[in-house]
């Protein structure tokens, strides 16, 4: 087995999280994959993977080998794509990191169309409500909501989202509908984010025209935006929730926006980010173009 094949096999084991999953995607047996990794480690004279009955993890040497091997394979893919011309069919494993709520609501529904258009690309969706290091995690593309950190990444703006104060009809039937910011003090409670504490403070316009950041007592908190949305939908409390999550529920009467005239307008950008490379892999370029096509000039949750 040549060095490139060993390298690609190793990358697939790490990316898929185990020998069995890697074997299935490579159309090999798990034992054949295990033997190939063993041969690679013997040739390098270093252990790359720590194996237990439940999981595998990278050793220090394995992390270094992974980062360099991934760059080499990406450069080979980009080189071949360049030789074939800009219109060559993109191919290979595309790793996409996205927040759970936005991913489930807006990215997952698009994947069937993307896969139908680019049948040689295998998409791996990775959900995380924390900002991850794309290079360290081995991801090709990240979808970021809000301000970007200086991480040496290329960023392409896809659009923006806002937030709305909403509650379920069942909650409002039990607790009453707050008509002014002062009404929130009458026993109302909120679902709160532990991941983005900033959104627990609602910018509400006061009678004198000033904007006061208002935070309600919490009834439940979570680090998952999608979980908080579902709890608001279940009538547990009031939520300051992203429009890309609540737009459909509002149209269907499952959620009611409140205090609209008092909520100071705010918006947060949505970007696709990816590591800067001299030659960008065709699969990354086409996926980012595809997202821009679907989200601009107007995002689907802002239509109608």
Q: How confident is the prediction for the chain on average, in pLDDT?
A: 88
Domain range enclosing 23: 1-85
Average pLDDT over residues 95-116: 94
Higher pLDDT pick, 122 / 275: 122
Which is nearest to 227 in space by CA: 56, 99, 113, 138? 99
Last residue of a domain, one of 25, 52, 85: 85
CATH, residue 24: 1.10.10.10
One domain, residues 150 and 66? no
One domain, residues 141 and 227? no
| 73-101 residue pLDDT tens | 877 776 666 555 545 678 889 999 999 99
One domain, residues 194 and 180? yes
User: Which pair of structure tokens corresponds to residue 259?
Assistant: 């205090």
One domain, residues 79 and 108? no
Helix (H) or strand (E) holding 141: strand 141-145
First to last CA, the chain: 56
Stated pTM of the model: 0.71
Quote the CA–CA distance of 31 and 190 in Å, as a whole number: 52
One domain, residues 136 and 189? no
| 5-47 residue pLDDT tens | 888 899 888 888 888 888 888 888 988 898 889 988 998 898 9
Using a pLDDT cut of 70, give the percent of the chain over it. 93
CATH, residue 94: 3.40.190.10
Give the count of domains, the chain.
3
One domain, residues 168 and 249? yes
């Amino acid at each position: 087995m040549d060095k490139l094949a060993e390298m690609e096999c190793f990358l697939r084991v790490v990316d898929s999280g185990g020998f069995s999953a890697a074997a299935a995607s490579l159309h090999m047996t798990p034992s054949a994959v295990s033997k190939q990794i063993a041969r690679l480690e013997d040739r390098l004279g270093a252990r790359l993977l720590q194996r237990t009955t439940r999981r595998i993890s990278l050793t220090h040497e394995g992390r270094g080998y992974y980062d360099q091997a991934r760059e080499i394979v990406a450069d080979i893919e980009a080189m071949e794509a360049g030789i074939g011309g800009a219109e060559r069919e993109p191919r290979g494993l595309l790793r996409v990191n996205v927040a759970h709520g936005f991913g489930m609501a807006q990215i997952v529904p698009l994947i069937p169309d993307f896969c139908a258009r680019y049948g040689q690309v295998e998409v791996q969706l990775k959900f995380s409500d924390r900002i991850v290091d794309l290079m360290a995690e081995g991801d090709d593309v990240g979808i970021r909501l809000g301000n970007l950190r200086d991480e040496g990444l290329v960023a392409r703006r896809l659009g923006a989202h806002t937030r709305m104060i909403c509650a379920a009809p069942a909650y409002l039937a039990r607790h009453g509908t707050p008509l002014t910011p002062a009404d929130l003090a009458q026993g109302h409670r909120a679902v709160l984010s532990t991941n983005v504490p900033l959104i627990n403070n609602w910018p509400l316009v006061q009678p004198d025209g000033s904007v006061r950041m208002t935070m309600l007592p919490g009834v439940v908190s979570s680090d998952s935006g999608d979980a908080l949305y579902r709890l608001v939908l279940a009538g547990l409390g009031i939520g300051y929730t992203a429009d890309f999550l609540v737009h459909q529920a509002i149209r269907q009467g499952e959620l009611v926006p409140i205090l609209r005239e008092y909520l100071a307008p705010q918006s947060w950008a949505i970007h696709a980010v990816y590591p800067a490379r001299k030659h960008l892999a065709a699969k990354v370029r086409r996926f980012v173009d595809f997202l821009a096509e679907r989200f601009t000039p107007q995002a689907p949750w802002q239509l109608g």
